[in-house]
Amino acid sequence: MLHNLAEHRRQIFTGLAILLLSGCALPPLADRPDSRSIPQSQTRETVLGQAITPKTDAHPGESGVVLLPDPFDAFAVRALLAEAAETSLDVQYYIWRPDTTGTLMLYTLYRAAERGVRVRLLLDDNGIAGMDDILAALSQHPSIEIRLFNPFVVRNPKWLGYFTDFRRLNYRMHNKSFTADNQATIIGGRNIADEYFGAGQGTLFADLDVLAIGPAVDEVSRDFDRYWDSSAAWPAQRILGEPESDAVAALGNLFSGAENSDAASVYVHALEDSGFLRKLLAGELTFSWAPVVMVSDDPAKVMGRNVKEDLLSRQLARALENPERSITLVSPYFIPRDAGVELFRKLEERGVEVRVLTNSLEANDVALVHAAYSKYRKPLLRSGVELWEMRRLDNDPPREQDLQSGMVGSSASSLHAKTFAVDGETLFVGSFNFDPRSIHLNTELGFVIESPELARALEREFDQQVRFTAYRVVLDEDGELRWLEQQEHRMVTYSHEPGTGPLKRMLVFFWSLMPIESLL
């Protein structure tokens, strides 16, 4: 213990010394290699192109989309795209962990690079803890280029950077996309880590991605280029330095160990049993065809140079203005602020039904966010909003059949999907949370899908599942909050946050008084 404390102090003093000597300066971006996404016209003859082009040619102007609520399917499709790619893989994520699924996914990228596929990996530097040595070794491969978005100068401990450069480092890239041969792409809410793919023993997330083919893919590729070429994207080698002499050998051992581990074997077996995977491999997967508009923030947002009209939140407002009947909104981190409450109040006055599903305190993995949200529950309910909070259901290792309906609820223990439907006509899926951080600080990415079929599917699933996976939040006759839980044969009413102790509730109350809402 004393040794660990001394090591921790040494790291802090070393970091402070680096800060003083470097002045927090990032290395220059001059002579950064230039690259662009490969045009779809040049990848039509790849395996993916030959499978996809006849479908897209039959639906001009529309994109084919498949929702991916199931975590095993979401992982399998990414792995299959990486294995099938022949020319390029463009991969962009906020969080990537070196756990079972994170390592397996890196291995699929490495195998693709070994076949000569160009791999471009763009990662937000705030979400790659413990990855520096791995990424430094991977970046040595001639077919792999890695860039870090808005990087930290001090690598260990990173948080020291906030003391001297908080304004810059507080802005992060929250986008998620996985694009193969510019023919197929996956966007949505999932990062790359066990909790997003139904693996491991800790908190598991109910999440939602979209697999897309057609014009939407080219939009995502152009957006990837915009981020890749931005002044916030640094070549990893200039930030991480040269890897240790045995780093490449260690990388091989890491991949071999992950592939042969008990955790991986259980997970791979579950993937092999996936009905979705069988349909995909057999070419029997059914796409929904619809106009799809990609919405995203300008990467300059992290430099504070964004134009308000270019913000994703403004693009969403323009794309989804003037709902007439209903809004069904699913967001794990929901802080509407006064402006959002007023918007919902006006919609309800016009006869628009507004329904919201977010995390309960017991399911929320960021209690500070819940503290900020909790102040708005009574105003929302007084405005007529129908409010639901997802329960923490269990922490048992998931089985595939338990996770098939993860769009608004599953055996996962925390909600992470970000989606909403308007008037049963339009569906949004992406990385955008309805909170100040997504609006003002993080960059985000998503699809606006003009599909009554998919929008109504979300509404139906909300109707069918939310009663059994979430608490209905209401006001009693005295205007006090109550939580209603539908159990098998009865309704249970709680007078305080269900599934939580008095200490946690007290801490959340005190946090709700702190002036930090704009940072959440």
423 among known catalytic residues: yes
pLDDT digits (tens, 9 = 90+) for 222-240: 999 999 999 999 999 999 9
292-519 CATH fold: Endonuclease; Chain A (3.30.870)
Place of tokens 């990467």: 299
Q: Categorize the per-residue pLDDT at 404 as very low, low, confident or very high, splitting at 50, 70 and 90.
A: very low
229 among known catalytic residues: no
440 among known catalytic residues: no
Please tell me the pTM assigned to this model.
0.91
Return the pLDDT at 273.
75
174 among known catalytic residues: yes
Residues in the chain: 520
Tokens standing for residue 354: 């507004």
Other CB atoms within 10 Å distance of the CB of residue 284: 8
Return the minimum-mean-pLDDT range out of 19-28, 81-90, 346-355, 490-499: 19-28
Q: Where along the chain do its domains lie?
A: 63-281, 292-519
Question: Cis bond leading into 157, ω under 30°?
Answer: yes
**Where are the alpha helices (H) located in 350-469, listed in sequence order?**
367-374, 377-382, 436, 452-469
The reply to whether 292-519 shares the fold of 63-281 is yes
Catalytic residue among 174, 194, 218, 297: 174
Could you report how far apart the first and last alpha carbons of the chain are, in Å? 34
Residue 327 to residue 427: CA distance in whole angstroms: 10
**Residue 386 pLDDT > 60, yes or no?**
yes
Helix (H), strand (E) at residue 474: strand 470-475
Return the minimum-mean-pLDDT range out of 51-65, 279-293, 306-320, 335-349: 306-320
DSSP labels, 334-352 = B--HHHHHHHHHHHHHTT-
Other CB atoms within 10 Å distance of the CB of residue 426: 21
CATH code of 63-281, in short, is: 3.30.870.10
Catalytic residue among 181, 207, 223, 435: 181
Distance of CA 162 to the CA centre of its chain: 23
Average pLDDT, the chain: 88
Tokens standing for residue 170: 């507080």
Catalytic residue among 125, 209, 423, 435: 423
Residue 146 to residue 317: CA distance in whole angstroms: 34
Catalytic residue among 70, 124, 158, 176: 176
181 among known catalytic residues: yes
**Residue 402 pLDDT > 60, yes or no?**
no
List 192's β-bridge partners, or say none: 96
Residue 465 to residue 369: CA distance in whole angstroms: 24
Tokens standing for residue 200: 């491991």
Identify the residue with better confidence: 356 or 513: 356
Instruction: Say if residues 49 and 181 touch (Cβ distance below 8 Å).
Output: yes
**Where are the alpha helices (H) located in 414-487, listed in sequence order?**
436, 452-469
Catalytic residue among 223, 298, 418, 435: 418
378 among known catalytic residues: no
